[in-house]
Structure formats: structure tokens, C-alpha cells
Structure 1
């Protein structure tokens, strides 16, 4: 009987910690978004807090583009890095025209791996980078088993999602340390929360981003650097183009502009966040479910997405 009581006590304590850990991200997100309205005098502009320039990778579409526009709206000069020079120039022109800040474009294909970073480092060497947003990422074209994916796609996932966040931190952090201030935002995904069959490598790369971000924070927070782990759930962007339902969006699947507005409001106030208040609530309920259940649910969800994609492809082919 005594042994059973001990087990019950340990279980209750464990459950309490899980609930507190899950709920904390929701409370932090809500408080950080409301803080500017209730304590405006205590909210320091990001440019003053971290520096006048931000680098955003993968900034020609989706979250990256909208995050860059939101930072520019706050008076921060923007360096955007992506592989399409025409899209880069168009986004840079839009940022300058809309928000009257300086921009710089750097053309780089992160899928090529280590060879692109000396060039990026050279392009950034004279710019006092205050904020780095590691947003660049790729996903499967649609859910599929590991051996159905080409070796080229698998290496692209690793080079972009793992290599990009790692190497860009290595490029930018030394300057931030020297200046004694700065912020790094590593964009992960809710898929980090469990193994995700049919998107196996994608989810594994996002689990890497989470682990990497937590560890780098411990190394560089004492040097005045704010390291944020940003883990959105579904957002209506091209990375989810395999599902028309996701592309159409809804309250739980915001568009990139809505998501980025919320996400930027958390910068400097939260270390770990989904970036969007409704995602924070979803994250809470996901985390209280055992991992094996999440994995099974993820598998079924991706089976449905796969079926949707293949059905639509068949209809278009006919």
C-alpha cells in the first residue's frame, strides 16, 4: 500500500509539472502580446535593444517575408537571404518602399551545404547584425515513407533545416558577442514534439533545431544574447502546399502576416514560444498527450494529407 501511495504521489507531481510546463508557454505568449498595451513605457524598441540591422533567411515567401516586413515596420534595416535573386529584389523593394528602411540582398542556396557560408559571411562582415532570424526551411513535397523520398530531397532537408540554423548562428554570433547584445530566432515547428511518420526526416530536423537552440542559449545568454526557440504549428504558407485545406487557412491556421505580427511581439520577451496565441493553446493540449499517441495521430494525419495530395494530382493529370 505504501509503495502504491509513493507511485501515486510521483505520478501526480509529474503530471503537475507537465501541465505547468505546457500552460506556461500560453501564459507567456498572452502576457507578451498584451504587455505593450498596458506597459508601453517599459517596452524598448527592438532596434534599441538589439541593434539596427536584422538578417532573415528564407525571406522571399511566407513567414520569412512577413517577419522581415514586420521588423522593418519597427524601423529595423533588413538583410534578406534566399536563393531566388528576382524574388529577393522584389521583397527588398517592397520593404524599402513600405517602411523607409535600408535593405541588402544576399543570394545563397542553403541546399548546397557548407560551400555557401563563406560567401554569406563575407557579405555580412561589415554590418552590425542585431537580430538573426533562422527561418529558411524545406519540407517534403507531400507525406511519404522514407524510401520513397529521393536522396536529393533527404539531403536538402538536412542541409537547409539543420545546416542553415547551425552555420548561420556560427556566422553571426561572434559579432553579437563582441557588441554585447543581439537576438537569434530559430524557427522550428510543432512537428518537433514527436516522431512524425511520413515526414520522418523533416520532423527529425526540427527536433534538432529545438535541441540546438536550447543548448546555444545556455552558452550565449550570459553574454547578452537572447536566443528564441519559435515553434509554429500549421501556418498557411507554401511549405504546406500539399494540402489545399491548410493553404486556405482558418483561425487555427493563420496566414503568414497574422502569424508574424504575433511572433515578432514575443521577441525579447519569450525564450520558447509558438509565436501565436492559438498555437500556444494547441501546444498545451498536444504536450499533455503521451508521445506514442501523438506519433500515431501524426501518422494518421499525414496519411490523410497524402491521400488528399495524390487525389488532387490525379484529378489534375486527367
Structure 2
């Protein structure tokens, strides 16, 4: 009977481990909202704030009384979100920094980062939200696009996130408080692999590890570093995934996600803020890895075929740059 008792104990521990995220979510919902301004500082920096989750998160932070530094590449869209924030929260101040994150590690990108440093040095920046990311080309083998496509993705998803964090965090260290929120993805945390989105999933895995290490490094300095790992969020990006239709009941709107995301700031190094995403995570956990990988590969091969039928991928001569669009992926498999 000892072996039966041991198995029962292991089973109980396993169930408890699976139930813990849900219980944590419910406990957090029962608490009052954290006063982010008092806890961390008066200003928040948000990258990619002009659409999707980035826009919704910026508006949610404004409703919570945070002034905002909005970082994006399109001046007109930055003015639009600034105007929307002014209407939603008239007392909130906004500043904009034009920065094309795909130009990080270039002379033009270095100049824009210098302007960002100058802007944040004069402010009590308490929260940084690294939201901007790239998901181009979609549903592609590694050889489907020239290397510049992958370089763009690495620059935005890895280098820019690192550079912006390095620009903002010194002021937090000096003040002894702050929160850094990096948007990772369930694609690198809950799924065994993401075929035909290899580089994207790999860059998001960097985000999770980067965040965890910084969390350990800076928590003694009063700084909370967190990686949030969302799944599908409604919008144009999610609609491009055929499997998103299967998860439609578990897909929140950007506004729904932003409310949960802001509530979870400062609670854990890695979290899945939205309850529906936690359910999706559980489903991914119980389905065998081999089956998930087979299903994902099949769906993404079909998606690749459809995309190539609608817009064939250009093949650039060796040494030339492919024309691959820069997209802020605020949502989707984020």
C-alpha cells in the first residue's frame, strides 16, 4: 500500500500545482487595485502603443493615473494615441518619442535612443512596458526569406527590448523603485515548439529568460521585473492564425487583456494575467507534445500555402535586403 499512497500523494501534488495559478488569479482579483503611481512612480514608458495590446495597455495605465511616455515609429499614430489618452484621462500628461525599433544598433537608432534617455532622465519613470514586437514573415521556413527579415525580428524583439530596458532602468535603480513588464508569449512557454514561427518563438524565449534573470538581479533594489505570456488576443494578427478560430472562446479583447495585465504588474517574474489564457495554458499542458507539434505543423503548413497563394514571398539575391514589413505584434501569439 505504500506505493499506492506515494502515487496518491504525487497525484495530489500535481493537481495542486495545476490549480495554483487559478487560485492565485482569484486571490488577486479579490484584492484592491495596486496604486502604481505611489508604489513605482508617476510615469510609465510604453513601446508600440499605437495599436492592439500596446494601445489598450497605455490607455489602462492612463486610467490608473500614470503619465505616459509613448515610444513608436509613426508620429501621426503617436499623436492619435496621445489624443485618445487626453480624452480618456484629461489629467494625464503624455510625451512621445519617435523611435523605429527596427533601426536599433544603427546610427539612426542610436540617436533616437539618446533622445529616449534624455526624456526619461528628467522624469520619475516607475513602469516600463516593452510591448513592441515583430511577427514577419508569418508561417515561413527559415529559408523562405532573406536574412534581413530575421535580423529585423532580432533587432525589435531582442535588441530593442534590451536597449530600451537599459535606458530606463538606471533611473529606477537611483530611485530604488520601479517595474519592468516585458510581453513574452505562450508560444515559447506553454507550447513544445512553434513550427514555421521558429525565430519568433526563439526571440520570445529570450524575453522570458531575460526577464527572469533581471527579476533576480534587481528585486533587492526595489524593482519588479516581469514577463507576461499571453496567448491569442482579438485583432488582425490573431485572425491570421487558423488555429485561433479553435481558441476563439479563450481569446480576450485587447482591452480585456490590458486590464488584467496592469492588475498583475509586480506579481511574479512570469505570469499569465488573463484567466482565459490560463485555461488555454492548461489545455496545452495536458495535450501530448507530439500531438500538439503535429497539429501546429499541419496548420502552419496550410497557412503558409494560403499566404504564398495570396502574396508570394520575394526571393532576394544574395547580399540584398528583402522588403519585409515591420509590424508591432501587440497581441496574437504575442
Pick the TM interval, shorter chain.
Answer: 0.7 to 0.9
Alignment partner of 1:166 is 2:168: no
The residue matched to 1:137 in structure 2 has which SS?
A: coil
Query: Cα offset for 1:284?
Result: 2.2
CA RMSD in angstroms, aligned pairs only: 2.8
State how 1:70-149 maps to structure 2 within 5 Å: 70-100=60-90, 101-115=92-106, 116=109, 117-149=113-145
**Relative to structure 1, is the Cα distance of residues 44 and 265 closer, same or farther in structure 2, using a 3 angstrom cutoff?**
closer
In the other structure, the counterpart of 1:282 is: 280
- 1:27 corresponds, among 23, 26, 39, to 23
The residue matched to 1:114 in structure 2 has which SS?
A: coil
Tell whether the 8 Å contact from 2:132 to 2:156 is kept in structure 1 after alignment.
Answer: yes
Contiguous gaps of at least 5 residues in structure 2: 313-334
The residue matched to 2:148 in structure 1 has which SS?
A: helix
Higher helix share: 1
Query: Cα offset for 1:280?
Result: 0.8
Contiguous gaps of at least 5 residues in structure 1: 37-42
In the other structure, the counterpart of 2:38 is: 48
Scaled by the length of structure 1, the TM-score of the pair is 0.85
Distance in 2 (alpha carbons) for counterparts of 1:151 and 1:47: 43
State how 1:243-258 maps to structure 2 within 5 Å: 243=241, 246=244, 250-258=248-256
Distance in 2 (alpha carbons) for counterparts of 1:33 and 1:140: 36
Query: Cα offset for 1:114?
Result: 2.3
Distance in 2 (alpha carbons) for counterparts of 1:90 and 1:127: 22
In the other structure, the counterpart of 1:187 is: 183
Distance in 2 (alpha carbons) for counterparts of 1:290 and 1:223: 41
Alignment deviations for residues 195-250 of structure 1 (CA, whole Å, 9 cap, x no partner): 21101100000111111111110001111111111000011234435348859994
How many residue pairs match? The answer is 303
The residue matched to 1:70 in structure 2 has which SS?
A: helix
In the other structure, the counterpart of 1:40 is: none
